[in-house]
Amino acid sequence: MVRFENVFMRYDGGPVILRDVSFELEPGSFHFLTGGSGAGKSTLLRLMYLGARPVSGRVHLFDRDISKIRRSERPAMRRRVGVVFQDFRLIPHLSALDNVALPLRIAGTREALIREHVPELLAWVGLSGHLDALPATLSGGQQQRIAIARAVIGRPSLLLADEPTGNVDDRIAIRLLYLFEELNKMGTTVLIATHNESLVRRFDHPRLHLEGARLTRATVRGATVSAPAGAAARPG
Ligand SMILES: Nc1ncnc2c1ncn2[C@@H]1O[C@H](COP(=O)(O)OP(=O)(O)OP(=O)(O)O)[C@@H](O)[C@H]1O
């Protein structure tokens, strides 16, 4: 689904953000991505949704080396990836319903289906009373839930969520995690970047952890940190 091989990443000659990072996300897997503020979590996600290229090393998405994907192919590949951005990136002049409906409309889904499924999902995330609201009239937590609904509505092959519960209380955070788990059960590969340790410990999924520009893979419930995640994949 996603494979990093010896990836180095820095911005414009700045400090190294990712150093020799190698790992693989198997299809259908569910991982948390943890690390302190500035550890490079968003950068790692950016490389996966074709928002950046590594300085060296290779990133494979859906079995394609991202450096070899033609510009014309990018929109189709991006459509297979649902992204919850840390800053939401909602379209300000569209209602909650229309923001969430957007990926379906782009994919040509029938309007009748959109009118059925989008309100259902918005109700699940607790926004049934806000279908026609513009993002600016909603709280940060409500906007975040629209962003999540938009990312999952098309049942993407890969879901990348950057701090998706950063603006909601624990009760809603757990409910959103259940939503991601449901999506995962239907086949979506999920990677969630988060600072929320209690959430990581509550849900039984392995974690990838960034520290000092290196990636490690931890076992269930984040109990022990083992060898670098890519160790097995490296030659020699
Ligand atoms: N577009 C950019 N240009 C230059 N530097 C950047 C850019 N994006 C991120 N950085 C820098 O890269 C480093 C890693 O940032 P990144 O956002 O990936 O970390 P993070 O782990 O997601 O942090 P947080 O948890 O605070 O969101 C930081 O030092 C940041 O300032």
- CATH code for the domain of 222: 3.40.50.300
Q: CB–CB of 125/83 below 8 Å?
A: no
- Total number of domains constituting the chain: 2
Q: Is the CB of 208 under 6 A from ligand 1?
A: no
Atom of ligand 1 nearest to the CA of 46: 18
* Same domain assignment for residues 28 and 130: no
Q: What's the gap in Å between 229 CA and the centre of ligand 1?
A: 21
Average per-residue pLDDT for the chain: 90
Q: Is the CB of 38 under 6 A from ligand 1?
A: yes
Instruction: State the CB neighbour count (10 A cutoff) for residue 178.
Output: 12
Domain final position from 115, 132, 154: 154
Domain final position from 154, 181, 209: 154
What is the per-residue pLDDT across 151-209, written as a single tens digit (0 to 9) for each? 999 999 999 999 999 888 888 899 889 999 999 999 999 999 998 888 999 998 999 99
HSE toward the beta carbon, residue 3, CA cutoff 13 A = 14
Least-confidence region, from 135-149, 151-165, 218-232:
218-232
Least-confidence region, from 40-44, 63-67, 132-136, 221-225:
221-225
| Mean pLDDT in residue range 22-46 | 95
Q: Is the CB of 14 under 6 A from ligand 1?
A: yes
Short-list 214, 209, 194, 191, CA closest to 18: 214
**Is residue 39 helix, strand or coil?**
coil
Residue 93 has pLDDT above 60, yes or no: yes
* Same domain assignment for residues 94 and 200: no
Please give the pLDDT value at position 167. 86
Q: What's the gap in Å between 114 CA and the centre of ligand 1?
A: 36
Please state the pTM of the whole predicted model: 0.90
Atom of ligand 1 nearest to the CA of 52: 1
| End-to-end alpha carbon distance in the chain | 24
**What distance in Å separates the CA atoms of residue 41 and residue 39, rounded to the nearest whole number?**
6
| Mean pLDDT in residue range 208-236 | 59
* Same domain assignment for residues 15 and 105: no
Instruction: State the CB neighbour count (10 A cutoff) for residue 202.
Output: 13
Please give the pLDDT value at position 226. 42
* Same domain assignment for residues 68 and 170: yes
CA dihedral 199, 204, 206, 207 (to 10 degrees): 10
Domain extent for 94: 89-154
